[in-house]
Structure 1
Amino acid sequence: MAPAAAPALGVGRGVGYLARGLALWGRRPGLMLLGVVPAVVVAVAMALVLVGLLLWLDDAVAWATPFADGWDPALRSGLRIGLYLVGLVGAAYLGVIAFTGLTLALGDPFYERIWAEVERMLGGDVPAAGVGWWRGARDGLTLAALGVAVAVGVFLVGLLPVVGTVAGSVAGLVVAGRLLARELVSRPLEARGMDRAAQSALLRGHGGALVGFGVAVQACFLVPLGGILVMPAAVAGATMLARDVLDARVGRN
């Protein structure tokens, strides 16, 4: 008989996993410091890239709206300012997703140690090894590339009249949050031999927790230096989320 479906984890529970991960800074500061080194390197590189992107964004908005050249100056300015703001939101999502992907790619050995130690702290079934540096790097770079797609999508939705700015921002928030959460949660699941299809089946019904966790991580990353301090906590929290889903599936919760 197939195992019963695990009780769905909601948005609030998802946010709680990040809070539990952050609590490890007080309990295991030495462990968490392992994740700071790659995060600092990537944060500096990302800051330089995003500064260049923001300098280019004004020209990109003008290029994308030639149809507004003959409009009343007030309307033209309003449209282009709105799109510039959407572009800023898209750049923020790009920065968050790319930061996560690149940091995981660069620092996989560091984050694997955090993941493995959290697994041991939780007890029960602990995989003997992680996914490996090459696999982790590939997945991290793929996530960074998806960040570009999200940023472009947010900008294109922003072109819609009236509702574009809000719709693009909300859609980007949800999509980016889910992408982040899925990538972070995938590490402990892949270490158990689960491919993407098996992971999707396991996590089905827990979309609220994934979005809540991912959005909470994004919010922290948008705070100056937040990504550097939160990245280790995000890895730890994702491991806790994955374990709760796995344990619930076999009736431990």
Structure 2
Amino acid sequence: MRDFGVGFRYLLRGQKWVGGHGRRLGFGLLPGLVTLVLYIGALVGLGYGADDLTAWATPFADDWTSPWQGLFRGALTGLVFAFGLFLAVITFTAVTLLVGQPFYESLSEEVDRSEGGEAPESGLPLWRELWISARDSLRIVLRVAFYGVLLFACGFIPVVGQTVVPAIGFCVSGFFLTEELTAVALQRRRVELKERLGLLRGRRMAALGFGVPLTLAFLVPFVAVFLMPGAVAGATLMARDLCGETAGDGADDDAEEDDRNPSSVVENRM
């Protein structure tokens, strides 16, 4: 559980960093606002059309008597909207990062410089970076959609579907949300998607500690817009840790002890 706390502290440090750089916060809000308007429109449309979609998909229930037809289709409508919301949460970051690629790249580079040293550069032209980002985001969305379908089906299991499945869903969303955000810094380091996923699996609890609270916060309207710049900053700090460029957030608390006992650094890394 210590790694979970480390991931959460990276999230807080990112928000604090942006709070101390007001100009970056202002620029970082623009892509999120544009994406939010688009997503609100899509979710409102889904809300109005979910009943018709459910009725169209369940013609076998047309002859059911009341209240069974209403209960059955009502439950399905709720699941459809929940699935749409699930996809919205996980794709919001990908779309926002794609829309605001130049903003967030610049923000991430400044975080790297503020931590000391030079900001790594991919050396690729902007169009190539956008293509790689869009391609990798699509791969992540497909993975999430696959898990989403499985969780949607498991949602019909009594009790488990209403308790365990939502918890797993938030963990899945949080893990891939962390991947999307750390990709801003890791792509500049020419770290491919497969390797990025491997790095995060090696620090799974830290990834969840960063992504799950953010996923829950993103469920609140407008919160995602204001947290995105800080999330990118925090993810950059985490990416530095994943690449071994820093001792990690938790190491600050133990720095004095590590100086006295160098072997503890190796033990912490294990």
Q: Give the TM-score band, short-chain normalised.
A: 0.7 to 0.9
Change (3 A) 1:205 1:183: same
25, 50, 53: which one aligns with 1:57: 50
Answer whether contact 2:98 2:134 (CA < 8 A) is retained. Answer: yes
Q: What is the match of residue 155 of structure 2?
A: 158
Q: Deviations over 1:104-137 (max 9, x none)?
A: 1111001001110111111145303476333234
Change (3 A) 1:53 1:24: same
Change (3 A) 1:241 1:104: same
For the pair 1:105 / 2:98, whether they are aligned, the reply is yes
Q: What is the match of residue 220 of structure 1?
A: 217
Answer whether contact 2:178 2:211 (CA < 8 A) is retained. Answer: yes
The alpha-carbon deviation at position 60 of structure 1 amounts to 3.2
Change (3 A) 1:163 1:92: same
The alpha-carbon deviation at position 26 of structure 1 amounts to 2.4
CA distance in 2, matches of 1:57, 1:152: 17
Change (3 A) 1:202 1:236: same
Q: Pairwise mapping of residues 55-94 of structure 1 onto structure 2 (< 5 A)?
A: 55-65=48-58, 73-94=66-87
Q: Which amino acid aligns with 1:199?
A: R
Q: RMSD in angstroms over aligned alpha carbons?
A: 2.9
Task: Answer with 31-40 or 190-199: which moved more.
Answer: 190-199
Q: Pairwise mapping of residues 1-253 of structure 1 onto structure 2 (< 5 A)?
A: 10-65=3-58, 73-124=66-117, 126-129=119-122, 132-144=129-141, 148-149=145-146, 151-245=148-242, 246=244, 247-248=246-247
Change (3 A) 1:41 1:146: farther
CA distance in 2, matches of 1:68, 1:166: 27
Change (3 A) 1:70 1:10: farther
CA distance in 1, matches of 2:201, 2:145: 26
What are the ranges of 5 or more consecutive residues in structure 2 without an aligned counterpart?
249-264
What are the ranges of 5 or more consecutive residues in structure 1 without an aligned counterpart?
1-7
Answer whether contact 1:157 1:167 (CA < 8 A) is retained. Answer: no
Aligned to 1:223, the other structure's residue is in SS state coil
Tell me the matched-pair count. Answer: 246
Answer whether contact 2:46 2:81 (CA < 8 A) is retained. Answer: no
CA distance in 1, matches of 2:45, 2:145: 15
The alpha-carbon deviation at position 43 of structure 1 amounts to 0.6
Q: Deviations over 1:29-59 (max 9, x none)?
A: 1012221111111110111011111222223
The alpha-carbon deviation at position 147 of structure 1 amounts to 5.3
CA distance in 2, matches of 1:241, 1:134: 24
Change (3 A) 1:21 1:10: same
Change (3 A) 1:135 1:235: same
Q: What is the match of residue 4 of structure 1?
A: none
Answer whether contact 1:189 1:242 (CA < 8 A) is retained. Answer: yes
Change (3 A) 1:37 1:146: farther
CA distance in 1, matches of 2:123, 2:11: 21
Overall identity of the aligned pairs, in %: 38
Q: Deviations over 1:47-81 (max 9, x none)?
A: 10111112222233344555656666445544444
Question: Structure 2 length normalisation: TM-score?
Answer: 0.78
Answer whether contact 2:14 2:231 (CA < 8 A) is retained. Answer: yes
CA distance in 1, matches of 2:149, 2:92: 17
Aligned to 1:10, the other structure's residue is in SS state helix
Change (3 A) 1:204 1:95: closer
